[in-house]
Amino acid sequence: MSVFCALSNEQVEEIDNSKGCNFYNKGQVVFHEGNRTNGIYCINKGKVKLFQIGSEGKEQIIRFAKAGDVVGYRALLSEEPLSASATAIEDDTTICFIPRDQIFSMIAQNPNFNFKFLKMLSHELGEAAKIITDLAQKPVRERLAETLLILKDTFELDEEKNIQVKLSREELANIVGTATESVIRLLSEFKKDKLIAVEGRNIKLLNIPGLTRVANVFE
């Protein structure tokens, strides 16, 4: 549920008047880690990945955002530089920029909007803690299975159980925190075990309970 559903009609209109929309093709940069931001970005259409560059120059994907999601709010609210870069992972991704003052005045005026932000941030923080525990404790195989399940929850499956996002093997590796080759090998294992079907970048989840077992998730 978007933070903006907390706004009144007038407030939505106010935002509509001040916001600027931009189009991005796959691979185009929305914002860059380390820069300052002066507002937040709302995904209207398409998908983006948020990632940091580690000390060896390797990309680490922190999270994804899709239509209805907001990115860049962390840096705005903490008044720190952007902690991650964002790039579109689909063509025709449409993103609106809402300037800082708009956001701050609405937080001040509208308690609901404010609580939505508090809730969103604290929820994200809980998700981050789970990821930390998994990265620290689970082997690669389990983390990959879990990543597939998280992608399912984030982007949903179509009628044929395909995860509704297309990622390269390398990008999957950059979520899981492993080498591209390991992802390739493990995906074929999952395929052999009839847990998934793979066609290029299309991944079909054939056996979700099975994947959940591999991921060793119990919630």
Using the contact rule CB under 8 A, the part of the chain among 14-22, 35-43, 105-113, 203-211 near a second copy is: 105-113
**Binding-site string for DNA from residue 133 to residue 172, where x marks contact by CB under 7 A and - marks none:** ------xxx--------------------------xxx--
Q: Is residue 35 near a second copy by the rule CB under 8 A? A: no
End-to-end CA distance of the chain: give it in Å, rounded: 22
Q: Render 53-100 in DSSP notation, one character per residue.
A: E-TTS-EEEEEEEETT-EESHHHHHHTS--SSEEEESSTTEEEEEEEH
169 binds, among DNA, a second copy, none (CB under 5 to 8 A by kind): DNA
Binding to a second copy, residues 163-192 (CB under 8 A): 176-177
Give every CB contact of residue 112 below 8 A, 6+ residues apart in sequence. 6
Q: How far is the CB of 150 from DNA (least distance, A)?
A: 18
Q: Is residue 197 near DNA by the rule CB under 7 A? A: no
Q: How far is the CB of 160 from a second copy (least distance, A)?
A: 30
Cβ atoms of residues 143 and 128 within 8 Å: no
Q: Is residue 78 near a second copy by the rule CB under 8 A? A: yes
Q: Is residue 182 near DNA by the rule CB under 7 A? A: yes
75 binds, among a second copy, DNA, none (CB under 5 to 8 A by kind): a second copy
Pick the closest to residue 18 from 50, 42, 51, 2 (CA basis). 42
Check residue 92 and give left, alpha or beta (phi > 0: left; psi -120 to 50: alpha). Answer: left
Binding to a second copy, residues 5-24 (CB under 8 A): none
Angle at 58 between CA 54 and CA 63, to 5 degrees: 75
